[in-house]
Structure 1
Amino acid sequence: MANFLEKWSSKKADKPKTGMRSAIDTFRGRIAEQKAYLEEFERDAAGFNKWRSTWFQRVPGGFGVTIGRDAVNAGEGLSYIVVETVSQVAEFLDDLAQHAENDVAFQQALEENRLRRAALLNAAKSKVKAPASRPAASKSASIKTAGAKAAAATTDADKPKRGRKPQA
């Protein structure tokens, strides 16, 4: 047992935490995932059924390729192209990976997009928790609403319903 501890204790490290990858690493991972889908499509185009997950789709004249879920452009508004062949899709993905690696403005856009998406996710999570924490406020609001409806009902009783003739 002592040999084991001596051998591996110098290599001890903390576990990587989820969500700690940079935006560029995450984007590179998505590109790798898209390349895997593209290879799968090349092997069996007729049986390919993962179109909802891909950044490429069949369009008239070839394939439309987009930068997926990331609401960013690759410069000068470029975020969607149409190419003719599968090899051009692969080339675009390679160039996009190179662009993400070297272009500082693109890297900043990826990070800003990541922060924006995280803020939206956190806002959605807080909205789900908020109603449960304030039941008294909703109770008083429903009482006020019921009183307003009763007052409106008395004034609306004199008016005929839309589309009906008043009764004589």
Structure 2
Amino acid sequence: MTSFLEKWSARKSDKPKAGMRSAVDAFRVRVAEQKAYLAEFESDGAGFNKWRSTWFQRAPGGFGVTIGRDSIDAGQGLSYVVVETTAQVAEFLDDLAQHADNDVSFQKALEQNRLRRAALLNSAKAKVKAPAAKAATRKPATVKATETSQVSGEASVEKPKRGRKPKA
């Protein structure tokens, strides 16, 4: 029997990091989520309450379908369509997934969009951290309170404190 370390050390690898999925893979997952939402809507249209998460919405004449909430398009400015049936919504999502698999320019647009969103997120995080750094450089409130108590302490030497009135 071989030892545990000898057996498995040849297969040692680094763990995959969270969030390291490519932009195209992440887009495929989001399309799959949308197809699941569509199936849920088709099974119970009246009870469906996840409209805020969907890429499809009711529109005059059918359903409006957008390519996510991102500012990307599928080429030639195509980012929103209106279709008549849920079957056409499903067909659009299928074509969109196939487009993401085969169209190099669309894949580049997905990557650029991911980089743009990451930059926005990082700049927002930097803005949140900046006021905290400014607050640390300010004079702490406890120092101000001790300074004012020293002044009032000097004033108390001059005037006696008011005592309680005796009960009668």
TM-score, normalised with respect to structure 1: 0.75
Q: Larger Rg: 1 or 2?
A: 2
Q: Which runs of 5+ in 2 are unaligned?
A: 140-168
Give the 5 Å matches for 1:115-134: 115-134=115-134
Distance change in 2, residues 1:124/1:7 (3 Å): same
Q: CA RMSD in A?
A: 2.0
Counterpart residue identity of residue 36, structure 2: A
Question: Percent same amino acid among aligned pairs?
Answer: 77
Aligned length: 139
Are residues 136 and 44 of structure 1, via their aligned partners in 2, closer, same or farther at CA, if it must alter by over 3 Å?
A: closer
Q: Which deviates more, 97-106 or 9-18?
A: 9-18
1:11 CA displacement = 3.9
SS at match of 1:114: helix
SS of residue matched to 1:99: helix
C-alpha separation between the residues in 2 aligned to 1:69 and 1:26? 14
Is 1:78 aligned with 2:81? no
The answer to whether the Cα contact below 8 Å between 1:70 and 1:110 also exists between their aligned partners in 2 is: no
Moved runs in structure 1, 4+ residues, more than 6 A?
Answer: 136-139
Gaps of 5+ in 1: 140-168
Aligned amino acid, residue 26 of structure 1 = A
TM-score by length of 2: 0.75
Partner of 1:163: none
Q: Counterpart amino acid of 2:15?
A: K
**1:110-165 C-alpha deviation (Å, 9 max, x unpaired):** 111100000000000000001121237777xxxxxxxxxxxxxxxxxxxxxxxxxx
